[in-house]
Each structure stands twice: as structure tokens, then as C-alpha cells.
Amino acid sequence: MAYLFTSESVSEGHPDKVSDQISDALIDNFMAFDPSSKVACETLVTTGLVVLAGEVKTKTYLDVQAIAREVIRKIGYTKSEYMFEANSCGIISAIHDQSDDINQGVDRVTADDFESKANAQGAGDQGMMFGYATRETENYMPLALDLAHTILKEMSEIRNNEPALIGYLRPDAKSQVTIEYSDDNVPQRIDTIVVSTQHDDFADDETMLAKIKADVINIVIPRVKAKLKPELQGLFNDAITYHINPTGKFVIGGPHGDTGLTGRKIIVDTYGGKGAHGGGAFSGKDPSKVDRSAAYATRHVAKNAVAAGLCDEILVQVSYAIGVAKPCGLFVNTYGTAKVGLTDGEIARKLEEVFDMRPYAIEQRLKLRNPIYSETAAYGHMGRKNEVVKKSFKGPDGTVKEVEVELFTWEKLDFVDAVKAKFGL
């Protein structure tokens, strides 16, 4: 029997995403000036206020207020009527030193060779992390989530770069896409699209609702459709149910409308409800925290496995004990799509031989001790474009440091040949 599956996304102006972006901007600045920094930074945003809290071990000093204000300014909270504005909001910092009890299991004096370091650097916490990949889309992501992200990215592009096209958009927005699947898990059509966007005040609410709905359906959706390959464009149809700003007026939004916290959009950040999630958030954490680094590593494993032709869909789990380098275990579920005559347990053991999942090895393989995290903090950490970019960071003394970094290394298909060789594909 056919079934429906739904995923949602939120824009960079959503209050929880504002918090994530501030936390990751701090991570990037710490990494830029001291790559060995250990950081766990949480951010709370509400009407006219930002609160920074967390634990840090670093050799550098940052002007955290200036960094937070620049993030807020870039997102677009630059007008007093938003009741949360980059230049005027209060910023309180309660960041303090990292606990030595935690650090002792992560930071140990070791020899310079790779094996010694890899065996000595334990996981920053216990827990389990999941990676997922599917053939549904070109970037091996679930289709519903990919479409939900794309809708909001198009609206952000219009708001920031083409205001003459739709001039009333404000930063806060959410989207949701429901897709109908066949019994054999193949997308058949888009059933429902939900978009709620913050907007400027209108003189007439009824006119406002009609205008926003028409613009989303007639301007945004065709731009989204045009970005898809032909077979996915065919999923759009005249029978789609649209819910555009279904509650009506949405002028009050952002941190003034709802308090935001780092780490509250973990499903938006990953696979939109497909696969599984270990519960640990990403933003604000340096790569010694396996909540982040191992989630990236399992995505790397999953994507390369599917791309190599090992299976059509896969879920990969890894787990750790705090302070211990060797993972507690690797679990694999191929959902019956494996192309080799092996059980999922046998597949897991072979993948362990291809991918070194010790925390230090993950950091080195994926180049995680670099300022690469701000770009992850909106529109998902997975399924993004792997590219090399130049970034600039301004120190509190006014000095500017320019670095060249590789973004989204966990999206590279650089282990496809190794997977093929291991499984004889």
C-alpha cells in the first residue's frame, strides 16, 4: 500500500538556527586562531537578548560579542521593528573553562606518530551517532528533506539578492514537504507543501495572504522545480495541497516570536526523519565531540557505500565510551537493498576495515580541525556541496587571518574505490 512521508526545514532566520549559527561562528573563530581548541558553546536568543554559555579550552581570545553581532547582521536582523537587531541587542557571555575531568580522557600527551595519537585521543563523550544515504537524490539525501531545504534556500536567495521580486520577506521561515511513495519505496508524487514565512506588515490581511500564497506557488516553486532533474520534476502536479502561512499573519517572528536554542533542530540538520538519530546536536561543538565528528564520519561511510553500489539505502551507527578511542561497535542496516551476498553484520565488519572510526582518525581524514562550521549551521549538515573556499577572520586586536579550507569533506566520494575493492564490486 502506498504511504506518505514528510520532512521539514527551517530558514537561517529561525530562532534555533540563529543560535546554531552564532555557536558555529564561535567554533570557526576558535579553530582559525587555535586549531587545538576544545569548545562546547550553547547560545540562547530571545527578544533583544543573546546569551552565550559553554566550556572552552583554548590559547586564543575572542570578542564573542562582535562575532555574535556579525552573524545576526548577516542573517538579516537589522531593523528595530524586528525587536531583535544586530547592533542593539544585549549579549551576555557565560563561557568558562572546560572541565579537567572531561579533558583528561580526550587530551593526552602522546608521541608524534599517527597510531599513537589515534589510540590516545578518546571520544569526547559516550553515545551513538548515525549516518544515512539513499539513491533518491543526486546528493544521496532523502527527497522530502532535500525539497524542503531547497524551497527555503530559494526564498533566502530572493530575500537577500532579489528583493524586487518579493520585497516583503523577513528572515524567519519554515517549510515542509510530504511525498507519496509506492510499496517498493519509490517517490510517486508530491502530496503536500507547507510554507510559513515571516513578512512585513500589510494594510489588509486578506490581501497579504493571497499575495504570499501566489508568490510562493508561482515564483518560488517553479524555481525549485527547475533545479531538479527531469524525473523529479515530474513529481510536481496540479493536485498538490498547499498550506501557505496557514495560521495567517506572521509579522512577529525570529527570536522575538520564539526563543531560540542551539541544537534544537537535529532532524532538520540530518535526514529529515529518515534513518535514525542518536540525539546529540552538532553546532557549537569542536570535532573532539563525537556527537559531531562521528555523525559526519557515518554519513561519509553511508554515502560512499551507496555510491559504490553496495546497496541502494543504508543506515550506519557507531557508538563510543567517553575517553576511549576504539568505538564500541559499528551497526549497519541496508533495508534489504544490499547487492552482495552478505548479512548486514558481515557488511559492517568489512566497512570497519575500510573506515578508521577512532576520533583522531576521523578528525584527520575529514580535516575537521579547520574553521568549516558556519556553513553547516543552516540548511542541513548533510547533502551539501564539497568545495574549497577562502575565509577571513578578524582577531580582537584587529589582525585579519585568511585561510583556505575545504567544506563538507564528509560528502566526498573518495572511498568509493576502496569500498568496491573490499566487497568485490
User: Contact, 277 vs 22, CB < 8 A?
Assistant: no
d(CA 236, CA 128): 37
User: Between 416-423 and 344-354, two packed helices, what is the crossing angle to 10 degrees?
Assistant: 130
d(CA 271, CA 8): 10
Instruction: Answer yes or no: is 317 a known binding residue.
Output: no
Q: What is the CA radius of gyration of the chain?
A: 22
d(CA 22, CA 44): 9
Instruction: Answer yes or no: is 172 a known binding residue.
Output: yes
What are the angstrom distances between the C-alpha of 105 and each of 35, 291, 381?
Answer: 19, 16, 27
Instruction: Answer yes or no: is 85 a known binding residue.
Output: no
Query: Which of 379-413 are b and which e, b meaning 16 or more Cβ less than 10 Å from the residue's Cβ?
Result: bbbbbbeeeeeebebbeeeeeeeebebebbbbbee
Instruction: Answer yes or no: is 14 a known binding residue.
Output: yes
What is the amino acid identity at position 341? G
Cβ contacts of 118 within 8 Å, gap of 6 or more = 325, 356, 358, 360, 361
User: Contact, 306 vs 313, CB < 8 A?
Assistant: yes
Instruction: Answer yes or no: is 174 a known binding residue.
Output: yes
Instruction: Answer yes or no: is 250 a known binding residue.
Output: yes
User: Between 15-33 and 64-75, two packed helices, what is the crossing angle to 10 degrees?
Assistant: 130
Instruction: Answer yes or no: is 17 a known binding residue.
Output: no
Instruction: Answer yes or no: is 258 a known binding residue.
Output: yes
Give me the sheet containing 241-244, strands edge to edge: 3-10, 169-181, 187-199, 241-244
Instruction: Answer yes or no: is 243 a known binding residue.
Output: no
Instruction: Answer yes or no: is 239 a known binding residue.
Output: no
Instruction: Answer yes or no: is 42 a known binding residue.
Output: yes
Instruction: Answer yes or no: is 339 a known binding residue.
Output: no
For 325, the grid coordinates are 578511542
Instruction: Answer yes or no: is 55 a known binding residue.
Output: yes
Annotated binding site for Mg(2+): 16
Annotated binding site for ATP: 14, 172-174, 249-250, 258, 264-265, 281, 285
Annotated binding site for L-methionine: 55, 98, 258, 289
Annotated binding site for K(+): 42
Annotated binding site: 14, 16, 42, 55, 98, 172-174, 249-250, 258, 264-265, 281, 285, 289
